[in-house]
Structures are given as structure tokens and as C-alpha cells.
Amino acid sequence: MSDYTTEFSTVFFNAMLDASDKFKFYMDGIYTKSAGSYSSFGILESTIPATDHAGDPIVTNHDLDYSTVNEYSDLDFTMFELTYGVSFQVDTNARLYTSVTYLDLTDDQPYVYGDQDGSLSIYSAGMTVGF
């Protein structure tokens, strides 16, 4: 039998600065590290052992080496996300904003799903209106 184990850690932070009555600056960040793996499972055996004519158990697939199969599903990656932006109050119910988000993924076990390393930048601008 084999057990699948996952471990992850996440750190999140958020900061806001009211530079004036109209300008606000903000920053959000997230860092995540995740890992998952199977424990070694050795030879798979049936719950009802097969026996030969003398009643001795027969070990099936004894010529196959399963000792490293569990390593084929190891997952190990880190993700970093950072958003920073500014908003400007146009009137009591409306704000203009702009922000930049940067994402970075590092895959330390690329053979599982292929190499997933990469980064992405997202630029946003808009207006919020309350009513």
C-alpha cells in the first residue's frame, strides 16, 4: 500500500497607504510552496494469495522493480503573486484605479506535467462607482 502526502505553505500580505484624501496606494502579495508525493509501495500483492499444487504461495510479478514508481508523481512548485496599484477619488461615489499584477510559477518537478515554469504580468485600469 502507498500513501499520498501533500504539504503546502502560504504567506499573504496586504498593505494600503492613504497618501491623501483622494489618492490611495495598495499592494498585495502571496507566496505559496506546494509539494506532493507517494510513499514507496513495493510489490503489489493480492489479498487472496495464489498457491501452487503443493499449497505454497506464488509471488506474482516478482521480476518487476517497483521501487522508483512512486517518484513519477512527485509534485513540487512555488508560486509568487504581487499586485500593486493606485486609486484616485473622482467624487464621493466614483474612483479611478490602475494596477499591475505579476505572477511567477516555478515547477521543481517538470517531468510530471511538462515544464510549467513561467511568469505573467497583468495591467488593469478602470473605474468603480458606488450607488
- Work out the average pLDDT over 77-98: 94
CA distance 88 to 103: 25
The string of pLDDT tens digits covering residues 13-41 is 999 999 999 999 999 999 999 988 877 66
The string of pLDDT tens digits covering residues 36-61 is 887 766 555 545 556 666 766 665 55
Largest CA distance in the chain: 92
> What is the separation, in whole angstroms, between the first and last Cα of the chain?
60
- Work out the average pLDDT over 68-82: 80
Class of domain 4-42+63-129 (CATH, top level): mainly beta
Handedness of CA 53, 56, 61, 62 (dihedral sign): negative
Mapped onto helix, strand or coil, the DSSP state of residue 3 is: coil
